Every structure is written in structure tokens, then in C-alpha cells.
Amino acid sequence: MADFRRKFKGPRPNRKNDRREFSRQQGGEDFTLRIEKMVQGGEGMARLEDGRVCFVAGALPGELCKVRLTFQKKDFTKGRVVEVIEPSPDRVKPLCPLYGKCGGCSLQHLASEKQAECLEKVERENFRRLAHAELPEDFVIHTGNAWGYRNRARVVFRNLPNRDGSANRAVFGFRGEESNNIVPFENCPVLTDALNEFLRESAATLIKSNSRELDVNVFDNGKGSISFYYPGMHKSDFDKHAVSVVEIGGRKIEADASVFFQSNLGLLPELVNAVRNAVDEGLASGKATNDWLIDLFSGVGFFACILQDKFKKITTVEREEGCLKHAKVNLDECGERNVENVSAPAEEWLLENVVDVPATLIVDPPRTGLPKEALAAIVQSSVNRLIYVSCDPVTLARDYAKFSEAGFALSHAEGFAFYPQTPHLEMMFVLDR
């Protein structure tokens, strides 16, 4: 997890005084603002009369809105829409009654069929601003089902006493927007039907045998099997209920509900095909060889498992032990191939192992992007072709700028809208030198 601590040269700011000064200056006044564009995170961007930028939650490009400020600094402010005076033709009524209360799905006010188009504009501008370059003209964002797509979620279960003194009742829900409060639901429109049914049927059983509040990871493998995990789960229950097998790209891949796995199984084959095509092009062009596949931040060995028949040697590198045990299972059928599953931070492995052949390299880092040591080691290696899968376009653009300075060029880019109704986007870059 990224370290967000800041270093202050002077005394720490007094946020209470900031809020008092904000209240004194503004007096609860609303501002009428024209929204210029959408920015990273799905907010609209407008400008106050004093020139400061205002990021507006719930606003769409082109709209005229009454906006109430919720936060301000000297150079920017934040606000929320209290009235849409001139709505965008792309505005729709949010489908979920918990919109604005639950911590997710903050883009429901934008028509589903327009979301990818808006995200593309956002990422093209991000790339210009952060990487000082243009995304390819043929950049495309793959989309799938707008609702009922999500196979994985973290849900909070809580045992609540009834007001009449009768037996406690079990409820489940998501954390509220910017809070730890629980927002109960009976049917989440982005979860699969199987997950919604499981939650309704299992809430009382799960909370009865555990503490008053329980965070539970649930996963639908797409074949009618639901796995789940919660902290403190007994090993026998873990072995019985947490482990699952998913069929993707002609492979059976084992994981469990305590580790990361992609949440949109319906769209995942599109990413698999894109990575396979990039690997095949690299082998055919001679930019890479089939001697060695290196899969960094490999998780349960997903990409290595999908691509195992193309390489003589395979190395997966993942620091989480829980993922490593699944990677060993998933790559157990590689036959005579040389396979090593390494538990280590990617940057440490790169610094300790010289990559002096044109290996095929796949990286799939967390939102923080590549550690600077890992990026420097890749640049200094003999790798001439890099496949970068990213869950954060901002850190991807930042890392690309550094790769570009080292002689890498962006030869192909694709986007994947794995989380409709949200501003999140995953991307795949192919970098060559």
C-alpha cells in the first residue's frame, strides 16, 4: 500500500481553522458554474470567478449547475451538484436507489453507452498532460455488460438489535461514501445474480457464528460456485469455502477469495486476447524470444498460466504468499518447461537477477505503478518489449514518460472498462525499443 504521509517544512495545518474560515468566507452560498469537462475520478471541472478550479461531483461536461463547495484550498476547490440547471443530453436517472450513499458506482448519472467515450477523452488528456505524448489514434476501450457484471466484492455483515427487543437481525451492505458507515442493500445492480442471492441467503448464518461485524470477500466463479473469505477464518472453513477455480482462455485457474482476482469475468477474455496478441507479435518480430517469460506482480500466476505453452522458461514474481501457493498449482502442468515461482518484491528480484536476454516481460503493478527501482532495472536490462497492464491510468502515464526517456516507444494501447458505472479504467500498453 502506498505511503501517503507528507513532509511539512512548517507547522501542521489547522484543518478546523480552515473549515471555520471557509464557512465565514462563503456563508453556505451556492455557485452557478458551467462544467468544462470530465477529469480523472469522474468529476466535472469548472472555474470560479476568482480563477480557481472547482472539481464537481455528480456533474457532466457542458452542464450548467448550482454547486455547493465542500472543500477549498488556495489553488483549487471541490463541490457537489445541488441543482442541474441545464442538463447534458447524456444525463440519466441513476438506477440504484443508493446512488450517492454507497461508496461505489459514482458515474450512474452518465448514460452507460456514453461512459467509455467520456473515459477515453479523460485518458487522452491525461496522457498529453502527464506523458507529453498522444495516445494512438486506434486506442479503443473494450466494454461489456453495464449491470450485473461484478463477480467479486467486499461486503460488511453486521448483527443489529431490533428496537422491539426481539432477536438480533443480520444485515449486509457496503461502506458509505467517504465513511465507515454501513449502507445496507438487498440487491446490488452491479453484482451478479448469484452473488446477490448468496448474500441474502447467507447473511444470518455468517454473522451468527462470528463477531458483531464482519468484512467478507465474496467471489462468483461464473459457473454457479460462490467462494468467500473473512479475517480469522478457520483453516478447515477456508479450504471448504474460500478456494475457487475459474476457466479463462482455455485454462483452469485456481485462486481464493482472500487474494486479488479480476472482478469482471465477462470482459476478462478481451484482456487475455490483447495480451496474447501482444506476445505473439513480439515473438514474430524478434523483439522478444520464447526462451523466457517474466511475469512481475504475477498474483496467482494468471498471465503466466494463460501463456505457458509459448515459452521454454517461466518466472513469476509476487510478494504475497497467499498468491504464490496458487501460482504453483496453476503452473503445475507445464511439463518439461523450467518454471520458478518467486515470492519477492518485483524491484528486489530485478535488482538481484540479471535479465541479459530479450525476454518477454509482463508487469501488472498495483495502483501506485512501478517502483522506481523496478523501472530503472527494466530500462538497464536486455528487455526490448514490455507489456504493461495497469489499473491506474495516471501512474501508467507517469511511468510511460520515464520509459520514453529511456528509448521505449508506445506501439499499442487498449483500455478495458472493467467497472461500468464507475470512473475506473484498466489499460494495456505495449512498449518497444
* pLDDT tops 80 at residue 168: no
Residue identified by cell 479504467 is 425
- Residue 262, classed as helix, strand or coil, is coil
For residues 168-196, average pLDDT: 89
Q: Which residues, 6+ apart, have CB-to-CB distance to 321 below 8 Å? A: 343
Per-residue pLDDT of 350-395, as tens digits, reads 999 988 888 999 999 999 999 999 999 999 999 999 999 999 999 9
Nearest to 394 by CA among 371, 425, 373, 430: 425
Q: What is the pLDDT of residue 176?
A: 84
100 assigned to some structural domain: no
> In terms of residue numbers, what domain contains 51?
15-91
Q: For the chain, what is the largest distance between any 2 Cα atoms, rounded to a whole number of angstroms?
A: 74
Q: Within this chain, do residues 276 and 374 fall inside the same structural domain, yes or no?
A: yes
Is pLDDT above 90 for 209?
A: no
Shared domain for 31 and 61, answered yes or no, is yes
Q: How many CA atoms lie within 13 A of 160 on its CB side?
A: 13
Confidence (pLDDT) at 50: 92
pLDDT in tens, 272-308: 999 999 999 999 999 899 999 999 999 999 999 999 9
Question: Does the structure show a pLDDT above 60 at 343?
Answer: yes
Q: Which residues contact 180 (CB under 8 A, 6 or more apart)?
A: none
Return mean pLDDT, the chain: 89
Q: What would the grid cell of residue 267 be?
A: 470482459
Domain shared by 138 and 223, yes or no: no
Based on the fold, state whether residues 61 and 164 are members of the same structural domain.
Answer: no
Query: What is the C-alpha to C-alpha distance for residues 432 and 336, in angstroms, rounded to an integer?
Result: 30
Domain edge (last residue) among 256, 291, 319: 256
Contacts of 92 (CB under 8 A, 6+ apart): 108, 109, 110, 111
Domain presence at residue 236: yes
**Secondary structure of 188-211 as H, E, C letters:** CCCECHHHHHHHHHHHHHHHHCCC
CATH number for position 65: 2.40.50.140
Choose between 181 and 45: higher pLDDT. Answer: 45
Sorted by sequence, the CB contacts under 8 Å of residue 352 that are 6+ apart come out as none
Among 191, 193, 216, smallest CA distance to 203 is for 216
pLDDT for the residue numbered 166: 59
- 393 with 291, same domain? yes
Determine, yes or no, domain membership for 3.
no
Residues 140, 279 share a domain: yes
Q: How far apart are CA 327 and CA 317, in angstroms?
A: 10
- Shared-domain flag, residues 375 and 408: yes
**Left, alpha or beta for 213 (phi > 0: left; psi -120 to 50: alpha)?**
beta
**What's the structural domain count of the chain?**
3
Residue 8 belongs to a domain: no
Q: Do 162 and 187 form a contact (C-beta atoms < 8 A)?
A: no
Residue by residue, DSSP assigns 2-63 as -------SSPPP-HHHHHHHHHHHHTT-EEEEE--EE-TTS-EEEE-TTS-EEEEET--TT-
430 touches 278 (CB < 8 A): yes
What is the rounded average pLDDT of the residues 91-120? 95
> Beta strand pairing status for 44-47 and 53-57?
antiparallel
First to last CA, the chain: 31
**Model's pTM, two decimal places?**
0.89
Q: Which three cell numbers stand for residue 11?
A: 507547522
DSSP per position, 377-412:
HHHHSS--EEEEEES-HHHHHHHHHHHHHTT-EEEE
- pLDDT, tens digit (0-9, with 9 covering 90-100), for 252-267: 999 999 999 999 999 9
| Residue 16 confidence class, pLDDT cut points 50, 70, 90 | very low
Q: For the chain, what's the residue count?
A: 433
Query: Could you tell me which residues are beta bridge partners of residue 409?
Result: 432
Residue 19 has pLDDT above 90, yes or no: no
pLDDT value of position 179: 76
**What is the C-alpha to C-alpha distance for residues 230 and 238, in angstroms, rounded to an integer?**
9
Q: Are residues 327 and 412 in the same domain?
A: yes
Q: Are 149 and 416 in contact (CB under 8 A)?
A: no
